[in-house]
Amino acid sequence: MTDATDLATPFERLGGEPAVRALVDRFYDLMDLEPGYAAVRATHGSTLDDARHKLFWFLCGWLGGPDHYIQRFGHPRLRMRHLPFSIGLRERDEWLACMDQAMGESGVDAALRQRLNQAFFQTADWMRNRDG
């Protein structure tokens, strides 16, 4: 027998747009507050407002919900859009740790959190554009 959670998208399992918004907000709040995320925070501008909107829009679609990002900007072209920023191992690892902490504090269930961490790692590692 198939469990209902097997059929739901990650977007639905998280709780839709309100939950994705809360996750993104916690992620950027942590990035601003925690000294351990200073390197990844430095890759952003003086304000995180634009990044908050774009990550929310992107994650909605990436998780299986509405394609807000594509409707506004077209194909995400993630690597191309991140090339202007210096992203090495430290920035990748801080981004991943910050997102994992945000997921934990937002109550993302353990199985989904593990699945998302694996997918986030693959994407974040692909974003690296320098050694170290």
> 38 lies in a domain?
yes
Render pLDDT for 90-107 as a digit per residue (tens, 0 to 9): 999 999 999 999 999 999
Residue 116, in any domain of the structure: yes
Q: In CATH, what number is assigned to the domain containing residue 63?
A: 1.10.490.10
46, part of any domain: yes
- Helix/strand/coil (H/E/C) assignment for every residue in 34-98: CHHHHHHHHCCCCCCHHHHHHHHHHHHHHCCCCCHHHHHHCCCCHHHHHCCCCCCHHHHHHHHHH
Note whether residue 6 is domain-resident: no
Domain count, the chain: 1
pTM metric for this prediction:
0.91
pLDDT tens, position by position, 67-126: 999 999 999 999 999 989 999 999 999 999 999 999 999 999 999 999 999 999 999 999
